[in-house]
Amino acid sequence: MALVALAAGLILARFLIPAEQAALEPVNATWLRAPRPLPEFELLSHSGQAFSKENLAGNWSILFFGFANCPDVCPTTLATLNRVVDGIADQGKRPPRVIFVSVDPMRDSVDKLAAYVPYFNPDFIGLTGEFARIQNLTRELGVAVNYSPIKQTGSGQEDQLQNYSVDHSTTLFLIDPDGRLSGIFSAPHITEQIIDDYLIITGHT
Amino acid sequence: MRTAATLFFLLSLLVACARPGAITASAAWIREAPPGAQRLAAYLVIDNNLSTAITLTGVSSESFASVQIHRTTMHDGVARMRMIGELAIGPGQAQSLNPGGTHLMLIDPRADFVAGDSVRLVLHFADQPDLALRVPVKAAR
């Protein structure tokens, strides 16, 4: 009897909660209702300009950590983010700035990122800098970074030094216009899901 | 009538089994590399139509310094890309090499390949003849 009452109550509740209110929760992303300020950081953008936390002010941003010599996951994710930005603009909404932070500054120079990042979208921003400075961000955001050598036969020592892969988090971080972490998108990254959740989270503020 | 249909079905099955070139590759493509990237990925489906298991032991190409078989795996949201020495495919099985999974990593291109180009890859198998294919370069962004 109690079960029947509970079931009836649940069914009734579904009708009583207005549809818009029910739709205000992100479906796949994590929304931080108490956004967390990012630490101060000082990096270089792919145009060679200093880029710090202050440069995040005034825009929603999506941060993604990766490296240019990543042939599989990084281009797939950046291509997805390009479709996300287009999809949001198509709905007449202001898209986020997409910021690609290198976790491989030894190989990812400013010049390299200047060639790499705008390939996906001319508005995307690439950041690099001293590894210790990048770590200020990765540590705070819980981005795992691990270097792993790639075996190569018949190559010299110099090639071996250049030949490594970087294990890295594929998480996307949504930063609000005050430089605070407001949302987390975990893989797998599905264009439509990111668009929907982005609009829901940014619509709250 | 039904007997004839069954017979036809069985016959066509026999023909399919006896088809030469029992290892086939399809849906192959190479992701166009952004400028400056020295690592590219190739994706394809390898069908083993043989009655025995096969092993892809390596891939070569004149267009790259080397080609390796790699697998991306996810652990708690962290992507790891590792070289795998070889890839076994059971009899009658297919192996899909897709973005975010197993792929061929193409190292140090000898030229800047752009969408519309095609690249020759040669797949090497244990105890089976090589399989050469021309793979188109496609932009995916």
Please tell me the distance in Å from A118's CA to the nearest CA on chain B. Answer: 9
Q: Best interface-test mutation with A: which of B30, B32, B38, B113 has the largest number of A CBs within 10 A?
A: B38
Strand partners, A173: A63, A184
Q: In percent, how much of chain A has pLDDT > 70?
A: 82
pLDDT at B136 over 70: yes
d(CA B136, CA B115): 8
Interface of B with A (CB under 8 A): 31, 33-41, 66, 68, 70, 72, 74, 76-83, 99-100, 103, 105-107, 140-141
Any B CB within 8 A of A161 CB = no
- Which band of pLDDT confidence, cut at 50, 70 and 90, is reported for residue B18? very low
Q: Which of A50, A19, A153, A105 is nearest to B107 (CA)?
A: A153
d(CA B99, CA A79): 12
Are A69 and B99 in contact (CB < 8 Å)?
A: no
Ranges of each domain in chain A: 37-203
The CA–CA distances, whole Å, from B65 to A21, A155, A158, B115, B139 equal 57, 10, 14, 20, 22
- Which band of pLDDT confidence, cut at 50, 70 and 90, is reported for residue B6? low
Are A68 and B100 in contact (CB < 8 Å)?
A: no
pLDDT at B23 over 50: yes
Cβ-Cβ contacts under 8 Å between A and B: the total is 95
Q: Are A64 and A79 spatial neighbours (Cβ–Cβ below 8 Å)?
A: no
Q: Are B58 and B67 spatial neighbours (Cβ–Cβ below 8 Å)?
A: yes
Are A76 and B140 in contact (CB < 8 Å)?
A: yes
- H/E stretch holding A19: helix A19-22
- Which among A69, A71, A119 is the nearest to B141, CB-wise? A119
List the single residue in B with minimal CA-CA distance to A187.
B77
A37-203 has which CATH code?
3.40.30.10
Side chain identity, residue A13: A
Residues of chain A with pLDDT under 70: 1-23, 151-162, 205
Please tell me the distance in Å from A5's CA to the nearest CA on chain B. Answer: 40
DSSP state of A56: G
Are B34 and A171 in contact (CB < 8 Å)?
A: no
Are B39 and A70 in contact (CB < 8 Å)?
A: yes
d(CA B30, CA B49): 24
pLDDT of residue A155: 47
3-state secondary structure (DSSP) of residue A137 = helix
- Which among B35, B68, B82 is the nearest to A115, CB-wise? B35
A202: Cα separation from own chain's centroid? 15
What domains appear along chain B, each with residue ranges and CATH number? Answer: 21-138 (2.60.40.1890)
Residue matched to tokens 């972490």? A181
Does the interface predicted TM-score (ipTM) exceed 0.85?
Answer: no
d(CA B31, CA B42): 6
Any B CB within 8 A of A109 CB = no
d(CA B88, CA B57): 9
Using a CB-CB cut-off of 8 Å, the residues of chain B touching A121 are: 141
pLDDT of residue A116: 95
Q: Which of B107, B33, B34, B35 is nearest to B70 (CA)?
A: B107
pLDDT of residue A163: 75
Q: Are B32 and B138 spatial neighbours (Cβ–Cβ below 8 Å)?
A: yes
pTM score of the predicted model? 0.81
Q: Are B40 and B30 spatial neighbours (Cβ–Cβ below 8 Å)?
A: yes
User: Looking at A88-97, B14-23, B35-44, which range is the least confident one?
Assistant: B14-23
